[in-house]
């Protein structure tokens, strides 16, 4: 995920054609950031995960990873979107102190 390419969300282009966002695209709308979890058009990010958008918490965007492999170091609550299989994971710590990635 390249955060330099984050764009403001628009549903249509200048000609009126629906814009298609590709899996992995990141957009901003109303001060929030969203990740496309699949190719999507016609739905606002505010429609949420059921249509293919995942909200990214602005305060933790540095702890969000988009890659084929899990990050080598992680902290409680970090998120990793597996770019190979399209599955979102969250890093949790067990009561014994051992941490691992769980599928969302």
Residues 65 and 84: beta-carbon distance below 8 Å? no
* pLDDT tens digits, 84-95: 999 999 888 877
C-alpha separations of 13 from 5, 10, 17, 42, 51 in Å:
17, 7, 6, 12, 20
* pLDDT tens digits, 54-72: 888 655 445 788 889 998 8
Q: Quick one: 25 exposed, middle or buried, by C-beta within 10 A (0-12, 13-18, 19+)?
A: buried
The pTM is what?
0.55
Q: Which residues pair with 64 in a beta bridge?
A: 79
Give 94's DSSP letter. Answer: -
């Amino acid at each position: 995920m390249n955060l330099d390419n984050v764009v403001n969300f628009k549903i249509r282009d200048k000609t009126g054609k629906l814009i298609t966002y590709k899996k992995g695209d990141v957009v901003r709308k109303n001060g929030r950031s969203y990740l496309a979890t699949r190719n999507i058009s016609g739905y606002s990010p505010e429609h949420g995960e059921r249509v293919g958008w995942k909200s990214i918490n602005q305060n933790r965007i540095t702890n969000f990873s988009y890659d084929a492999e899990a990050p080598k170091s992680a902290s409680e609550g970090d998120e990793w979107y597996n770019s190979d299989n399209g599955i979102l994971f969250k890093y949790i710590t067990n009561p014994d102190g051992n941490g691992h990635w769980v599928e969302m």
